[in-house]
Structure 1
Amino acid sequence: MTEIEWKPQKTSSIPLHQQISDFMKKKIMNGEWTIGTKIPPQRNLAKRFQVNRSTIVIALEELTADGLIESKVGSGTRVINNTWSLLASTTPPDWISYVKSGIHKPNITIIQEINKAEADPNMIRLGTGELSPDLLPNKKMGQILQMDNEQSLSLGYMEPKGSLSLRKTVSAYLRTKGIKASPESILIVSGGLQALQLISIGLLKRGSTILHESPSYLNSVHVFQSAGMNLLGIPLDKEGIKCESIGRMKRQHHAALLYTIPTFHNPTGTLMSEKRRLELIKVCQRESIPIIEDDVYGDLWFENPPPNPLKANDTQGNVLYIGSMSKTLSPGLRIGWIVGPEPVIERLADIKMQTDYGSSSLSQYAVDKWLRSGMYEDFLKETKEELKLRRDFTIQILKKHFSEIATWSIPKGGFYIWLTLLTGVSTRKLFDAALREGILLNPGNVYDNNDDRHLRISYSYASMDQLEEGLVYLAQLIKNSSMN
C-alpha cells in the first residue's frame, strides 16, 4: 500500500475521482488489497495521486457505497469486502492476520522507511553501508568471467558446504589473516546475514540470550529475535567491547554466545585493540561462551592493517568466524563464509541445504577467480584509497560545519563515522525532517532502541558532491532544530 506508483490521467475524459475509485476497486477486487487492509489517510492519498482532497473524498464515498470499505473514528478506513465475500457465502482468508502472526518479526518502522527511501535514485544516502555503484568493479567482473583457466564452470548444485575449489581458495586467503582453516571447516553462505540466520536456527535454543556490543548491527536486523532469542548489550569504549561484565552477564542471563564486530565495528567504526582481543578470547574461553566474530569489514583498513582476527588466536574452536565479499567486492554476489569446528559447519551446511540448496554457483565461481587471480588484492587497494579520500573529505566537512554541534572519532577503516550530537535534538525528528528534503540518515535508535543522540554517517555510498551537500544541509537542520 505504501508504494502506489499509479496516478490518474488529468487529460482523460474520465473524472479524476472516477479514475481513483476504479483503480482502488480493482486492487480490492483482484485481492491485492485484502480484507483488513488499511487505506491511507485522505491527505496522504491526495498527495500521492496529486489531486485535491475533495476528489479523494468523492472516490472513497463511492467505494463505501459499494460496500468495499468502511471508515471508523479512531481506526481509519479499511477494506471490509472484496469479490469473494460479495459473491460467495464463505468468508475469504484474512491475509492481514496471517501477516501479523508470521514467526519472522517485521523490521522496525524506521528500517522499513530507510529501505523504501533507498529505492529513490534522487535520495542523498548519508547512512547507506555499501560501496557506491561508482566503486563497484563492473568492467573487471566481465574480465574475470572471461578469463581462461583450468577450472570449469558448473551451473548445477554445489556440495552442501559449497564449491570445494572456492573453499580451498578461501582457506589460503584466510592464512594471510593468521587463520588456519581447512576447506572442511569452511561453509560458503549467501552473505553475512545468512550466516547469522543459519546460526540462529541451527545452533541455538529458543529463548537463548545473545551478548553483543551496544550499540550493535544486530539490533537493526531481526534474525535472532525472530528465532526467539533475546539480545543483551555490553558497552564499548575506544578499544572495543568491555570485558569485565561478560562473565557476570553470562551467568545471570544464561547467555548462549557473544556476537562481536571487532574490526571497524558497525555502527561506531571502532577498531578493537590487540590487547582487548586477547582479553576477550581469554574471558570467553574461561566462561565457556562461544563467540561469533563478524569480520565483513576486515579488509578495508586505510593506513595500517588491523590486529589479526579473534579466530587467529582461537586454540579451542571457540570462535565462529564470518567473512564476506559484500562490503569489499560486490553486494550483488551474495557470497560469504563461516569458519568453525567441523561438526558445527556440517550442521549448518545441512540447514543451508534445507533452505536454499546452496549459494549461487556462478557467484562462487566468480569469487574463486577474483581471489585466485590476484585481481581482488589489486581492486581492494584501489577501493581503500578511494574510501580513505572519502573519509578525509567527510572529516573536513564535519570539522567545518559540525564542530559546535557534534563530536566524532576518525575511523581507521571501514565505512562509518559515529556522530554524537551535542544539541539535544531528537534524531527521530531529524530523520523525518531530513527525509522530506531528500536526505537519508541512519539514526542511533536503529542500533540501540534507547539511543537518541547519534547518527551513523557513511562515506562509502554517496558521491563527494552529495556528501558535501547532504552534510552541510544536515548541519543547518540540526542548528535550526536546536534553536527552536
Structure 2
Amino acid sequence: MPDEEWLPVKASLIPLHQQIYEYMKRKIMAGEWTVGTKIPPQRTLANKFKVNRSTVVFALGELAADGLLESKVGKGTVVINNSWNLLASVPPPDWNSYVQSGAYHPNIRTIQEINEAEKNPNLIRLGTGELAPQLLPSERMKDIFNSSSTFSLGYSEPKGNLYLREMISRYLKKKGIEASPSSILIVSGGLQGLQLISLGLLHRGSTIFLETPSYLNSIQVFQSSGMNLFGIPMNNDGMIIDSLGKLKRQHNGALLYTIPTFHNPTGIVMSEIRRNDLLNVCQKERLPILEDDVYGDLWFDSPPPSPLKASDKQGLVLYMGSMSKTLGPGLRIGWVVGPEPVIDRLADIKMQTDYGSSSLSQFAVAEWLSSGLYEEHVEQIRAELKFRRDLTIDILNKHFHELASWTIPKGGFYIWLSIKLPISYRKLFEEALKEGILLNPGNVYDRNDQQHLRLSYSYAPLNELQKGLIRLSELIKGLI
C-alpha cells in the first residue's frame, strides 16, 4: 500500500514522524487512500519505513487528531475523512465497496504475499516457476529486432499474426499435432487462454475437473466466472480416471483441465497408457479436455509421450502452449488450438478485450521458430535445467533425507517435496520469509494440503539455490 520507493530521509532536519505524517496525509487528501481504506499495522509500517514503531505511532496519532484516521479494536486503523469529505457537500463514492463487489475473486492470501514478496530482488526464490533472468536469450532477442525492419507496430488480425500461426502449425507437427493456422489462436500467455475459455465456452455453475493438486487452484479465473473446481487424485501415472464417467454425470462436468507433461506442481508425467485411457473415457462421456502443455519442450533425457491432442481425432481437446517457460514470460505469447468454430468464438472475445496480443512479441516468436534458433535455445535450456535439477537433488539427498521424500523429475521446473512429519506450513512460510527465502507451500495448489512444498530449480542463482535449500532444511528441523 505505501509506495515502494518512498522512505523518510533520516538526514533531513524534518523529524521522521513529521515526514511520515506529511506523506500519509498527502495520500489521503489526494484521494489515493479513499475513505474506508485500511492502514497497514504499525509494525508493518515501521518495517516499511525503516523506523522505530514509536515513530509510526506518533505520526498516526497526528493523523487521527486531524480527523483523517480512526482506530477501532479488532478492526485496525482506517481512513475516515479526506479532502472530498472535508470540503464537499456531497460525499465521494465509497471505492472500497466497489472493490469488494467486483466479480473477479481476489487471489488467496499466500499468493498475494508471494506476488508482493517477488518485488524484493534480495529474496531467494525457491518456488518461482520461471527461468532465471540469466537463462533468457536477451542478447539474441536484441539481434532479432536489430537485424529486421519488417515488423509492424499495428494491430494483428483477430486470431493473431498469420505468419506466426503458420510457424506454430509447423512446430506442432513435430509433436504429432495437425493444426492448420485457422485453428490456432494467439493469446497473451496461457492465463489469457484460460480466461477466454471461461468467458466464451462455459456456463456459470459448470464443473471443471482437474488434477489434485493443480496450478489451476492457485488462480481464480474459473472461480470468478462462477465455475466449480472438482479435484481428482493423481498417482505416478497421472490423473486417476477410474470414476471419471460417474463423476461427470453426478456433477454436470463441463471440462477436464490437465497438465499431463511435467505437471505443475508435482512434475509428474502422465503415462502413455493413462493418456489413451483418459481420451477414451472423455470421448465416451463427451467431456472436452483442456490440455495445458507449457512445459512439454523441457524434457531432459528423452521426450515425453505425445500430447493428448496428437491422438485426438474428434476435436475433443483444446490444446494450450506458451513461450513463457522457454523464451521468457515477458513476451506474453501463447496459443490455443482447437476446432475452428471454437477458435473463431475465442478470437471474437479476444478482440473485444485487448484487440490482439503484442505485434512485436508475435514477430519475435515467429522469427525464433522460423530460423531454427528456438530449437537451439531449448536444447541449451534443457541442459542447464538438468544440471540444476541434479544439483538440487544432491542437496536434498544431503540435507533432507530424514526430513522429506521426493521423486526425481524428468523435465520441467519442479520438485514436489513431501515433508515426513507434521509442521505448521504457515509458520514455515513466515519464518523463511524473515530469512530472505520465498516458498510456495502446497496449500496454494490444494487448499487441504499441509504436507508439501513446490521447489523450483529454474530461477534462483546456483549459489542462492544451495544456500536457500540448506537454510530451509534447518528451518524445517526447528519446527518439527
TM-score normalised over the length of structure 2: 0.98
The RMSD of aligned alpha carbons is: 1.1
Partner Cα distance (1:214, 1:99) in 2: 31
**Residue of structure 1 aligned with 2:269, choices 268, 271, 292:** 271
Deviation at 1:16, TM superposition (A): 2.2
1:228 aligned onto 2:226: yes
Alignment partner of 2:418: what SS?
A: strand
Partner of 1:18: 18
**Residue of structure 1 aligned with 2:303, choices 299, 302, 305:** 305
Partner of 1:373: 371
Pairing of 1:145-156 with structure 2 (within 5 A) = 145-147=145-147, 152-156=150-154
Partner Cα distance (1:41, 1:122) in 2: 23
Query: Does the 8 Å CA contact 1:186/1:340 hold for their aligned counterparts?
Result: yes
Partner of 1:99: 99
- Residue by residue, what CA displacement relative to the aligned partner does 1:271-304 show, whole Å, maximum 9, x if unpaired? 0110000000000000110000000000000000
1:78 aligned onto 2:93: no
Deviation at 1:103, TM superposition (A): 0.6
1:55 aligned onto 2:55: yes
Partner Cα distance (1:364, 1:480) in 2: 49
Pairing of 1:428-439 with structure 2 (within 5 A) = 428-439=426-437
Partner of 1:43: 43
Partner of 1:316: 314
Partner Cα distance (2:226, 2:311) in 1: 31
- For 2:359, the aligned partner's letter is S
Partner of 1:122: 122
Partner Cα distance (1:395, 1:58) in 2: 51
- For 1:145, the aligned partner's letter is F
Partner of 1:257: 255
Deviation at 1:4, TM superposition (A): 4.7
Pairing of 1:81-480 with structure 2 (within 5 A) = 81-147=81-147, 152-480=150-478
Query: Does the 8 Å CA contact 1:247/1:287 hold for their aligned counterparts?
Result: yes
Deviation at 1:13, TM superposition (A): 2.1
Alignment partner of 1:417: what SS?
A: strand
Partner Cα distance (2:147, 2:221) in 1: 38
Structure 1: segments with no counterpart, 5+ residues: none
Percentage of matched positions with identical amino acids: 68
Deviation at 1:27, TM superposition (A): 0.8
Partner Cα distance (1:145, 1:17) in 2: 50
Deviation at 1:365, TM superposition (A): 0.8
Partner Cα distance (2:192, 2:90) in 1: 41
Deviation at 1:101, TM superposition (A): 0.8
Partner Cα distance (1:312, 1:86) in 2: 65
Query: Does the 8 Å CA contact 1:426/1:453 hold for their aligned counterparts?
Result: no
Partner Cα distance (2:406, 2:3) in 1: 36
Deviation at 1:146, TM superposition (A): 3.5
Moved over 6 A (4+): none
- For 1:20, the aligned partner's letter is I
- Residue by residue, what CA displacement relative to the aligned partner does 1:52-96 show, whole Å, maximum 9, x if unpaired? 333222222221121111111111111000001101111111111
Structure 2: segments with no counterpart, 5+ residues: none
Deviation at 1:428, TM superposition (A): 1.7
Deviation at 1:3, TM superposition (A): 5.0
Query: Does the 8 Å CA contact 1:428/1:452 hold for their aligned counterparts?
Result: no
Partner Cα distance (1:238, 1:321) in 2: 23
Partner Cα distance (1:299, 1:43) in 2: 46
Partner Cα distance (1:427, 1:238) in 2: 24
Partner Cα distance (1:428, 1:2) in 2: 25
Alignment partner of 1:353: what SS?
A: helix
- For 1:56, the aligned partner's letter is V
Describe the shift of the 1:471–1:393 C-alpha distance in structure 2 as closer, same or farther (beyond 3 A): same
